[in-house]
A and B are shown apart, each in its own frame.
Chain A
């Protein structure tokens, strides 16, 4: 892959990113010279065995972990140089997270889950919560709380919540881990549709090889290195 300059309007740009955990003898290299560009509207899947560094990739791309070296930027925002305060603001406005099994807040109804990001700080041009809920097929469940929703429904609400602020980058962590085959297909198809329709650069980490056909590109993570996927 050709490295593009930071100033392009890429969704996600990473170059020469290295991250190690621990110190001394027990050092583990989580990311080893990782370079990656994800264009707006592209759905990238990252597969690989447990402990290969997939979650570290998400943590660094999402501004939750600062890499030891390398460049990371989302849109025009440089994640490596940003202060923790600025990082929080970037996460709030430019990055959407979809967690395993949705990680919705138990006290909030589906519609309030979508309103929540707008209360965490100023958001310019947010989506309309009801409209977005309808887009993910959850309009009829708007007043249900997470415990009243199925796993697939929770994941749909989680995806909608991540899209509320019109992020440049959507980071998706094992979205089908708790779902059966049919639901998994629906959820990933929804992610692909949202990515394409709204031009969101999307990185999905997954174990589930059955959903890869929805993705525009598939990479494999192996011992902290990012490689082309070979089936």
Chain B
């Protein structure tokens, strides 16, 4: 520590330059993490809010559009309900629609069709829950847009009118649009394209998107029940990939983050390589004076650790401040402690790996070079 601290303060300009690079990477990590979590929430928060463990879809369904492509029979719910390890199972409908409120607001919605009063039905935070056909429950984030209980939402494609009866609390979105909960028969009519007043084809009430399953304990053997029922199950997390753009968004951000970690480790490694080469003569003198390799390594690594911890803390701090102001905007952005802590730890650990590979040069410095005439 004796030498490490004095060199940090003596060459503060050089170390500050390096520290600000690490700090800026830290800022970027926090913002990317916020964006990443925000996009995930925007894509699948509606699914996350459901008390569901897995969904059973039509056999061999396209997993990137499972909810909108799959058609299954409502009676399949019985098969699932009977399976071991299933606490509850019920029909679930999902379709994407364009709507307009009577207040003149254009609203794109992901309609979730659920049986009212069932375990899948949403609990309203304000207003009432679904009590019958022709009703819709929306997320309370829409209150800010001027939507209120008693408003009428009209589905563009079929002209069905739905009355807003209540609001659920918190963010409920799917594929970047808000979720609207409707009673299952209403959803089935909209899905079948039945206009108000028209006769409903009999098969419409047999069809839903998927069977939602809630586990009891360890849950059912998905593959076995899938086989018996002729279906394809996805766990709740697997079903996120069915949200439009979800996989592309998350994998792009993960790639950027991966490269940032690699760049950060390489930059720190390059910096300490140069510093160590510049200190070669100094290290030779120290070794001639009897400093052990362990002492020299410990001193250099302490220096790297102080630099990395300090600049990462600074960068994350600035990132959190910036993030707080971004959160207040319409951008999909959410700061969660876990990914930010993980990013900070990764930044410090990978930086230390870079520094460590650089300072091992110390072990190759010959103390003999401290003697002037001996070359």
A-to-B contact residues, CB < 8 Å: 50, 54-56, 58-59, 62, 64-65, 85, 88-93, 95, 97, 99-100, 103, 105-108, 112, 115-117, 119-121, 145, 173-174, 177, 205
Contacts and interface: CB of A to CB of B under 8 A. Distances in A.
A119 B2 contact: yes
A91 B372 contact: no
Interface string B341-375: 00000000000000000000000000110111110
Given A91-B288, A120-B295, A107 B372 contact: no
Contacts of A50: 373
Nearest to A85: B292
A173 B285 CA distance: 13
B374 A107 contact: no
Contact of A108 (B6, B291, B370): B6
A100 B372 contact: yes
A88 B290 contact: yes
Nearest to A58: B371
Contact of A103 (B7, B9, B370, B373): B370
A119 to B, nearest CB: 4
Nearest to B282: A105
B372 A120 contact: no
A173 B286 contact: no
Interface of B: 2-3, 6-7, 9-11, 281-282, 285-292, 295, 367-368, 370-374
B289 A91 contact: yes
B371 A107 contact: no
B252 to A, nearest CB: 44
A108 B290 CA distance: 18
Contacts of B292: 85, 88, 120-121
Contact of A107 (B10, B285, B288): B10
A95 B290 CA distance: 9
A90 B285 contact: no
B10 A92 contact: no
Contacts of B290: 88-93, 95, 117, 120-121
A54 B373 contact: yes
B3 A56 contact: no
- Top-8 shortest CB links A-B: A92-B290, A107-B10, A91-B290, A100-B372, A55-B374, A55-B373, A119-B2, A107-B7
A120 to B, nearest CB: 5
Nearest to B287: A88
Contacts of B281: 103
A107 B368 contact: no
A115 B3 CA distance: 10
A92 B370 contact: no
Nearest to A103: B285
Given A55-B374, A95-B290, A105-B286, 19 more contacts: A50-B373, A54-B373, A58-B374, A59-B368, A64-B367, A91-B290, A92-B289, A92-B291, A99-B288, A103-B370, A105-B3, A107-B3, A107-B9, A117-B289, A119-B2, A173-B372, A174-B372, A174-B373, A205-B373
Contacts of A65: 368
A62 B287 CA distance: 12
A55 B372 contact: yes
Contacts of A64: 288, 367-368, 371
A205 B372 CA distance: 11
A157 to B, nearest CB: 13
Contacts of A121: 290-292, 295
Contacts of B368: 59, 64-65
